[in-house]
Each structure stands twice: as structure tokens, then as C-alpha cells.
Amino acid sequence: MPPRIAFIGLGIMGQPMAGHLLEAGYPLIVHTRTQSRADGLLSRGATWADTPRAAAGRADVIFICVPDTPDVEAVVLGEQGLIHAARAGQIVVDHSTISPSATRRMSGQLAKQAVMMLDAPVSGGDVGARNATLSIMVGGDEPAFARVRPLLERMGKTITHCGGSGTGQLTKLVNQILVSVTNLAVCEAMTFAMKNGLNPQKTLSAVGGGAASSWQLVNLGPKMVDEDYRPGFMIDLQQKDLRLCLRAADEAGINLSALSLVHDLFSQAQADGHGRDGTQALYDAVRKRAAGNP
């Protein structure tokens, strides 16, 4: 008997992720704040739940994919939160990127009802979600991870159990530091290239085949020089993640200067109206600063 699955949060990432589980034949219950986002899944056989509580009452495994820590707390602990329908043996899998300490608190509260919570943030963007090639970083109980791994394999390609509760979130923050600081390096490199009159396409080709290559260079570099700021991952969401990084760094008693700089530059990009643009729009803020503009 396949496990009954609930999926809460059907945004850019959650919708295709839930779709892969449905395609694999798992009974799927869905809930999201804007019900119309569920129409495609409902037409393919998913069933609707009016609240997270109602979804959890009918499921064995509950997936969550929502934007921020308060959203997860509302889904788990709110007035209509899943905790009010929780029963022993259920597993909650949170794909959101949120506070590691908040994750540990919620995991502890669910554990009192013999419910296991895994923090399982993802990397790979909307393309990875659609193609089921996400990297999934999982923290929490190892036997629970073993139980849900076949489900995670329907959505991701690289699946890693990182340790106890909160370690999945911490690993995702490592990912976000790498991504954002590398993005800044690409912005500065392309600003330097353009200011010195280099052909941008030839420059990207030349350096993209060597040690300087990165996902950000190959995928975002061409968009920067074309000033194509359509979002794959929005700056507003990147900034939410970087605030989590800075808070976790502060809790660990460390100062990360490059992280602080890129956060400041993304703040400038937001102030210039790029909050809902893709993270490659950081290029605009870097160019302005390089030219001595405020």
C-alpha cells in the first residue's frame, strides 16, 4: 500500500515537485493559499484539503514548500496547523529554506506526538524542480529519512542525509553563501570585461572552459550582459536566505565579510526596484558601485 501524501505549498517549486509524486502513482492531497494554483494537479487526480490540518489528517507523509520561517510555523503550529491532526508515525518533510533553530524547535514539538520532522531544503531552482534533478539536503531522524527516500528520489537527483535536525537547513545556507558570493564574482568580472571593451560572448566562452567556470558564470553571465533580468530565483527570496545565513553566522560567532557585502549589494538592487527580478540583476548594482554611483 503506497503512503498517502499531502503536499502543502504549490508555488514555482512546489507545484512541479508535487506533480512528480502524483505521476509516480502516490495518492496526493494538496493545499495552498491560492487554490487556483492547485487546478492542474486536481485535474490529474489530486484531492483538495481546505487547511494544513485537514491535509495532515488524511496523510502518512506531509511535504511543505513555502517561502519563509513564519509560513512554515503557521503550517505546522498555527490555528489550522498540521500539529492538531498529527498522529504517531507520520513524517513531515519541509522543503522550505528557513531558520535552522526554528526547524529544531518545531521538530521537538512534533516529536512529543511521535511525529518525525525532516528539514529537506532544495537547490536547483525551478528548472531542477520541473526536471526532478534537485539537490536535496536532509536533516533529521535517519530511519525517517530512509522511509521517505524513495519519495525524494522522485523529485531530486542528489539526495544527502546531512545529520540531525537543522543540518539540512545549515547545509542549504552553505549553498546560498557559495551561490551568492560566486554571483558577485561574476558580476564584478563582467563589469571589468565590459568596461575594458572586451567582447562579452568571447570572454564568457574563454573563461567558461577553464578553472573560473561556475554555474553562475555559464547560466547568469549571458543574462547579465544582455540585461535580461527575468527571474529564475528572485532577489527578494535570495535576500531572505542571506538574512538566515547572517543570523546563523552571528549565532556561531563568526564574521563573513563577503557574505555581508553581497547582502548589502542585493539590498541596493532591491532599492533600485529589482526585488522581483532574477539574482543576475545584482549586476546592475555592481556596475553602479564600480562607476562610483550611489
CATH number for 100: 3.40.50.720
Residue 7 — pLDDT band, cuts 50, 70, 90?
very high
Indicate whether 139 and 186 sit together in one domain: no
152 and 19 assigned to the same domain = yes
- Dump pLDDT digits (tens) for 258-287: 999 999 999 999 999 999 999 999 999 999
13 and 140 both lie in a single domain: yes
Place 1 in a pLDDT band, splitting at 50, 70 and 90.
Answer: confident
DSSP β-ladder status, 116-119 and 156-163: unpaired
pLDDT for 112-144, tens place per residue?
999 999 999 999 888 899 999 999 999 999 999
Segments forming the whole domain that contains residue 219? 171-290
Q: pTM, whole model, 2 decimals?
A: 0.93
The C-alpha atoms of residue 86 and residue 63 are separated, in whole angstroms, by 13
The contacts found for 14-17 with CB under 8 angstroms, 24 or more apart, are 14/63, 14/65, 14/66, 14/95, 14/129, 15/40, 15/41, 16/126, 16/129, 16/130, 17/63, 17/65, 17/95, 17/122, 17/129, 17/134, 17/155
**H or E segment to which residue 114 belongs:** none
Same domain as 149, residue 17: yes
Q: What is the mean pLDDT of the chain?
A: 96
Q: Label residue 55 by pLDDT band (50, 70, 90).
A: very high
Query: Is pLDDT above 70 for 294?
Result: no
- Residues involved in catalysis: 172
Of the candidates 150, 146, 98, the one whose C-alpha atom is nearest the C-alpha of residue 119 is: 98
pLDDT digits (tens, 9 = 90+) for 73-108: 999 999 999 999 999 999 999 999 999 999 999 999
Of 110, 143, 164, the position where a domain reaches its end is: 164
Count up the domains in the chain and report the number: 2
Residues 262 and 246 in one domain: yes
The yes-or-no verdict on residue 28 having pLDDT over 70 is: yes
Boundary of a domain, candidates 164, 189, 224: 164
Domain boundary among 116, 138, 164: 164
CA neighbor of 33 nearest in space, from 17, 19, 50: 50
Say which residue the cell 543540518 belongs to: 167
Residue 145 has pLDDT above 70, yes or no: yes
Instruction: Report the pLDDT value the prediction gives residue 32, as an integer from 0 to 100.
Output: 97
Whether residues 69 and 142 fall in one domain: yes
Predicted local distance difference test score (pLDDT) of residue 125: 85
